[in-house]
Amino acid sequence: MELDKDLQARQQARELARQAEQAQKTLAQMPQEKLNAIVQAVADAFAKAAPELAELAVRETGFGNVADKITKNEFASKRVLEAIRNMTCVGVLKEKPEEKLWEIGVPMGVIAAIVPSTNPTSTVCYKALIAIKSGNTIIFSPHPKAIACTMRAADIVTKAAEAAGAPKGTVGCLSIPSMAGCKELMEAPETRLILATGGPAMVKAAYSSGKPAIGVGAGNGPVYIHHSADVEKALSCILRSKTFDYGTVCASEQSIIVEAPMEQAVKEKASKMGFFFMDKEQAGKLAKLLFKPNGTLNPEIVGKPATALAEMAGFAVPPSTKVLVAREQEAGPTRPYSMEKLCPVLAFFVMESEDAVLAKAIEVLIHEGSGHTFAMHAEDEAVIRKFALQIPVSRFLVNTPAALGGIGASTGLFPALTLGCGAVGGSSSSNNISPMDLINIRRVAWGTDHISAPQCPQGDLVEIITAKILERLK
């Protein structure tokens, strides 16, 4: 009897989880040096395949562009490897003689990794590197829209890891696109942690699985161009960020906020650089295209260039157009431009004062994007500090393209493709997720002289303590 697709997917998930658990027992015995060698081999193999995987991803999903997908793949291999090279994640991490304390890194075990369609290959390398570095095995659950390219990426990682000495089952990948299979993987007894990068429904499912999970929230970061900023440089950063892979990075800017005296200068310079400020009619046409009637993002607009979006919406723009901009003043479910748009489209807010800008940025983030990312262009450190102390985000970026700064490509943040949003954003972590988020720490603690006990037999000590308690209760 032939099993239906969901049953096959569930059975595959179970088998992969069992294999991964057995492999992890071997991996857990490996010293950091051996894990490092496996990680090096995986990163090298993936970097070589970066162009092939980029082409596969764009062809299969229709999202983004090949050049930026190559950059993402190289970031996920070369840049992540560089960041984790000298990390110690397993074994003795610290010895604190003065505190009579040791800290030992312990792998979590089998990790279930959800892969988004917007980053279907780079996410595989990034998550594999941080998992293996910390002594864990990993099983990928691809997005149905990106099954072939994700499986190809996982195959490259698997072969490189095993050739470098990793046990069979260290890396696995579901090959049947089924929510039933993904759910089975997340809830499998062998699964110890879920790394959930994807849409809100998938992240919610991860947190509802009964297993520890690290999920991400929606990105909807505003960018504030302060009057102390170099406006042309600020706009260049925003342009680079918002057109990078056609806006598919969740940390990319979603709205520009300026004070009224800055409006004209920003619009004039932006218009010369490829920003197209839509009129009310054009903005209305595009708004109908951005989201479905149920409020979810229309996948047909994700990762498409600005000129294609305008054509789809039914109006013409100059061929040099890079980003479409709509005037907006409010945030909420009936205001599509105030939400996350995974394409080169921006809202444009004009406020009367600095305090009004702060209030609007918070309003936008509370509506969607709490805990994720905020960007600011300014030279006035006092205003940067003022905003940094109040904006509810985990990544506050200054004078950098948000898409690149948020993932750690153009900032000192850990290079990551899973960006935690903290409690305010419904996440269990506010970190750019690194190997150190995938271990437990065992602490070995010696007795100290901080508490002195009477020199008497144990039985007498109990009697003395009991007597003192009774005396205090009288």
* pLDDT per position as a tens digit, 412-450: 999 999 999 999 998 999 999 999 999 999 999 999 876
Q: What is the pLDDT of residue 457?
A: 54
Confidence tier at 199 by pLDDT (50, 70, 90): confident
- Output the pTM of the full model: 0.92
Q: What is the pLDDT of residue 453?
A: 54
Asked whether the beta carbons of 109 and 21 are under 8 A apart, the reply is yes
Which residue in 182, 250, 343, 421 is the catalytic one?
250
The C-alpha atoms of residue 397 and residue 280 are separated, in whole angstroms, by 31
Q: What is the pLDDT of residue 465?
A: 66
pLDDT tens readout for residues 270-289: 999 999 999 999 999 999 99
Going along the chain from its start, the domains and CATH numbers come out as 5-215+434-442 (3.40.605.10), 222-413 (3.40.309.10)
Residue 266 has pLDDT above 80, yes or no: yes
pLDDT tens readout for residues 212-242: 999 888 899 999 999 999 999 999 999 999 9
Average pLDDT, the chain: 94
Helices 263-273, 231-243: crossing angle, 10 deg rounding: 50
* DSSP secondary structure of 422-446: TGGGT-S--SB--GGGGEEEEEEE-
pLDDT tens readout for residues 12-57: 999 999 999 999 999 999 999 999 999 999 999 999 999 999 999 9
Asked whether the beta carbons of 224 and 258 are under 8 A apart, the reply is yes
Q: What is the pLDDT of residue 218?
A: 87
Asked whether the beta carbons of 437 and 274 are under 8 A apart, the reply is no
Mean pLDDT lowest among 191-205, 253-267, 290-304, 353-367: 191-205
Annotated active-site residue 456? The verdict is no
